[in-house]
Amino acid sequence: MESLFVSVRGARRHLASVSCTVSTIAFLLLTVLPAAAQKNNVILFVGDGMGVSTVTSTRIATVGVDGQLALDRMPYTAISRTASADYITPDSAATMSAMMTGVNTNTGVIGYGPTTEYADFNGNGDGARLRNIGELAISMGYAVGIVTTTRVTHATPAAVFAHVNDRNLENEIAAQAVPGGAGFNTRIGDGLHVIFGGGRRHFLPTSASDDEGLPGSRSDGRDLRNELHQQGYRYVWNRQGLNSLGGSGRAIGLFASSHLEYEADRNSGQPSLEEMTRKAIQILSATGKPFFLMVEAGRIDHAHHEGSAFRAFTDTRMLDRAINAAQRSVNLNRTLILATADHSHVFTIAGYPMRPLGDLQYNPRSVPASFRNQPYNGILGTVHDIDSGGTISESGDSGGIPYTILGYANGPGHRSGSRVNPNSDRTAGYGGAVPSSTSHTAYRQEATVPLFLETHAGEDVMIYAVGRTAENVRGTVPNIKVFDWIRDGFADRGSRPSQPDPGPDPDPDPTPEPPPQSEVCTPTSALLRLDGDYEISMCYRTPGGEEGQAKSAPWSDESAILWFFNRSNAEVLVKVLNGCGNNRHRWVFVAPVTTLEFNLWVTAPDGERWTHTNRQGETAATKSDTSAFRCAD
Ligand SMILES: [Zn+2]
């Protein structure tokens, strides 16, 4: 009975969505650096269902096995545990609610705690609404925006600002976003500043047709587009409208009746996730306020549910482009960018597939046509390997039949009966089209267990970070930690000793571990001023865990050398380049000649601070940040 209930519930949710010696030089020891009193922007990117295998396959398909996605270039990472309060394998409502409130909750529930059951099936009410990040940010004077490829009322965007015990109550979620209207969540003040995505139908009454002639789904007769317009929002419904938006005014863009199309199927009337992200940042930046922006690539998840790896990685690639665009359009000294997934999918990169032919550093003796010039670096193809004689051929299953590299543990890609050769498999695929090969856009990867919709997976996912306070992001953490990192980003709390994991250990270890060490070292030392009044300070830590301060001396009027106590050799050269780069920024150049861990700070005359963290074992590498400080106007 329980399993039946669970499967019906799960199905219903998914059906509802788819570096001289310098020892004589004097040095200055100054006091603790003053805490910077700045409010930072935070941008959170969520790849819905973007498990590690999804990131890897996207990388291979688009930039190659050794390539780097924008995600791969983000310098700080953590591993996120995703279990909801009641499920090992969670849904987006519970996970995003956890990330947006700092409290884990039950599957299907948004903005309430773990004692609130899905749809209040015990009839005992919902209890207290939790404070979500949208409410927190707005109470701190932030402008808040959401961008998604799903309906803006879908679970992930909804968790930024709404509270519901059932994620399917999307009409109610829409009403919670409309200032002055019945059901408005007054804890978000004057409302969200930017709302871009799909879901027009939840803003229109059933009696009305939307901009594309499709019916609304509200039974209360309200046209929320008009209500939002009366509240000063600018409403746009297509790509042209989005492009026309300028200035700092509030804006809502609803670009589809339901979800936006998959990136692979997108028409020119719909904006891309990158375009919506750029516009949202432009508008939010123009407000002059600090901002919080959540950007979701919501349909990676749907593509996996439909057994379409191609659509999953094309949507993931677009998310990666949006992340790259965001990094280039904000000041990372004042902005924290996080990217994560809410959960994974039962999607695997299986067998022992070889790299593409062009990657190989030897010449195979024989290469079949099926292995040459494969699109997407071969990731959509069948598994090939090489024998001891140098012949490359397709790998077979126990019966000798080839199999694809990508596959699912369950889902609609299940083939009934015995396996057929994927190269000649004409099973109807995505949209009913018959694929001509495994690289065809309609090809559904094989699934072991037949299910109408492929399922989420319960393993951990990644959290990536870059920018201000990004150094906080580390460890294996419950997903609620994302809330803490966003809040600490707002308050500019970074480079701090690690915090103990929340909650008691239910199974105490009989041999207690030593207390956790601080992350590199604490900001207490030094030091001197360079031309232009840039302050340099630094501290270090030895492999034995001993922390210490550093000495410094000017090297030229724009550079300094720094070394550690008890050591006579300069170990770090730091330079703040005068003049202004073509990106209207001054840059900082750091050349460490040490393998010790150290933190280095450069503080501009206006208090703006740039931080470099050198980790144990990193050496002699030249590190520069060409946009460390904005030039004086
Ligand atoms: Zn899903």
Decide if 57 is catalytic. no
Residue position matching structure tokens 């509200």: 218
Return the pLDDT at 629.
Answer: 78
Q: Nearest to residue 453, comparing CAs of 441, 444, 440, 463?
A: 444
- 514 in a structural domain: no
Fill in the DSSP letter of residue 565.
Answer: T
- 35 in a structural domain: no
Q: Give the containing element (helix H, strand E) for 4.
A: helix 2-15
Least confident of 200-204, 273-277, 383-387, 580-584: 580-584
CA of 602 to the centre of ligand 1 (A): 44
- 260 in a structural domain: yes
Asked if pLDDT for residue 375 goes beyond 60, the answer is yes
Residue 13 CA to residue 352 CA, distance in Å, equals: 36
Based on the domain organization, do 126 and 187 belong to the same domain? Answer: yes
Q: Nearest to residue 214, comparing CAs of 229, 228, 198, 234?
A: 198
pLDDT classification of 21: cutoffs 50, 70, 90: very low
Return the pLDDT at 515.
Answer: 38
Note whether 264 and 314 are within 8 A (CB). yes
- 577 in a structural domain: yes
Residue 239 CA to residue 451 CA, distance in Å, equals: 36
Based on the domain organization, do 63 and 123 belong to the same domain? Answer: yes
CA of 18 to the centre of ligand 1 (A): 7
Burial of 571 (0-12, 13-18, 19+ CB in 10 A): buried
Asked if pLDDT for residue 388 goes beyond 60, the answer is yes
Q: Over the range 211-236, which residues count as b (16 or more CB within 10 Å of their CB) and which as e?
A: beeeebbbeeebebbebbeebebbbb
* Tens-place pLDDT, residues 441-498: 999 999 999 999 999 999 999 999 999 999 999 999 999 999 999 999 999 998 644 3
Return the pLDDT at 117.
Answer: 94
Angle 247-252-257 from CA coordinates, rounded to 5°: 145
Based on the domain organization, do 46 and 101 belong to the same domain? Answer: yes
Based on the domain organization, do 444 and 473 belong to the same domain? Answer: no
3-state helix, strand and coil shares in percent for the chain, rounded to the nearest 5: 25, 25, 50
Residue 555 CA to residue 561 CA, distance in Å, equals: 6
* Tens-place pLDDT, residues 562-578: 777 666 667 777 777 76
Return the pLDDT at 551.
Answer: 73
CA of 633 to the centre of ligand 1 (A): 48
DSSP 48-106: TT--HHHHHHHHHHHH-TT---HHHH-SEEEEEE---SS-SS--HHHHHHHHHHSS---
Least confident of 98-107, 193-202, 550-559, 614-623: 614-623
Residue 383 CA to residue 437 CA, distance in Å, equals: 14
CA of 97 to the centre of ligand 1 (A): 15
What does the mean pLDDT of the chain come to? 86
Asked if pLDDT for residue 250 goes beyond 60, the answer is yes
Give how far Cα 290 sits from Cα of 115, 185, 187, 325, 487, Å.
34, 21, 18, 19, 13
Neighbours of 242 (CB within 10 A): 20
Note whether 309 and 376 are within 8 A (CB). no
- 286 in a structural domain: yes
Residue 273 CA to residue 55 CA, distance in Å, equals: 17
Q: Which two tokens stand for residue 183?
A: 């059901």
Q: Over the range 248-272, which residues count as b (16 or more CB within 10 Å of their CB) and which as e?
A: eebbbbbbbbbbbbbbbebeeebbb
Based on the domain organization, do 178 and 282 belong to the same domain? Answer: yes
Annotated catalytic residue: which of 92, 97, 285, 495? 92
Residue 420 CA to residue 567 CA, distance in Å, equals: 68
CA of 302 to the centre of ligand 1 (A): 6
Based on the domain organization, do 66 and 91 belong to the same domain? Answer: yes
CA of 156 to the centre of ligand 1 (A): 11
Note whether 623 and 553 are within 8 A (CB). no
Domain residue limits at 105: 41-345+466-477+486-490
CA of 367 to the centre of ligand 1 (A): 40
Based on the domain organization, do 119 and 224 belong to the same domain? Answer: yes
Based on the domain organization, do 239 and 364 belong to the same domain? Answer: no
Note whether 586 and 530 are within 8 A (CB). no
Based on the domain organization, do 271 and 197 belong to the same domain? Answer: yes
Based on the domain organization, do 52 and 82 belong to the same domain? Answer: yes
Cα 142 to chain centroid distance, Å, stands at 20
- 441 in a structural domain: yes
Where on the phi/psi map is residue 189: left (φ > 0), alpha (ψ -120 to 50), or beta?
left
Based on the domain organization, do 356 and 323 belong to the same domain? Answer: no
CA of 305 to the centre of ligand 1 (A): 7
CA of 477 to the centre of ligand 1 (A): 22
* Tens-place pLDDT, residues 168-191: 999 999 999 999 999 999 999 999
Return the pLDDT at 548.
Answer: 73
Note whether 542 and 521 are within 8 A (CB). no
Residue 593 CA to residue 600 CA, distance in Å, equals: 14
Radius of gyration of the chain (CA): 27
- What number is the average pLDDT over the span 82-107? 98
Q: Where are the alpha helices (DSSP H) in 190-249?
A: 224-230, 239-244
- What number is the average pLDDT over the span 9-31? 37
Return the pLDDT at 37.
Answer: 53
- What number is the average pLDDT over the span 385-389? 97
Asked if pLDDT for residue 587 goes beyond 90, the answer is no
Residue 432 CA to residue 364 CA, distance in Å, equals: 39
CA of 362 to the centre of ligand 1 (A): 42
CA of 250 to the centre of ligand 1 (A): 30
CA of 304 to the centre of ligand 1 (A): 8
Q: Nearest to residue 17, comparing CAs of 124, 96, 105?
A: 96
Return the pLDDT at 555.
Answer: 74
- 4 in a structural domain: no
CA of 268 to the centre of ligand 1 (A): 26
Return the pLDDT at 550.
Answer: 75
- 584 in a structural domain: yes
Based on the domain organization, do 242 and 326 belong to the same domain? Answer: yes
* Tens-place pLDDT, residues 115-158: 999 999 999 999 899 999 999 999 999 999 999 999 999 999 99
Q: Which two tokens stand for residue 477?
A: 């953490």
CA of 600 to the centre of ligand 1 (A): 43
Note whether 145 and 292 are within 8 A (CB). yes
Residue 473 CA to residue 77 CA, distance in Å, equals: 6
Q: Percentage of the chain with pLDDT > 70?
A: 85
State the pairing for strand pair 528-530/476-478.
Answer: unpaired
Number of H helices, E strands in the chain: 13, 26
Note whether 237 and 252 are within 8 A (CB). no
* CATH code assigned at 60: 3.40.720.10
Q: Which two tokens stand for residue 591?
A: 């050349």
Where on the phi/psi map is residue 390: left (φ > 0), alpha (ψ -120 to 50), or beta?
left
Return the pLDDT at 498.
Answer: 39
Note whether 571 and 553 are within 8 A (CB). no
CA of 471 to the centre of ligand 1 (A): 30
CA of 378 to the centre of ligand 1 (A): 27
CA of 450 to the centre of ligand 1 (A): 17
Question: What is the domain count for the chain?
Answer: 3
Q: Which two tokens stand for residue 487?
A: 């809040």
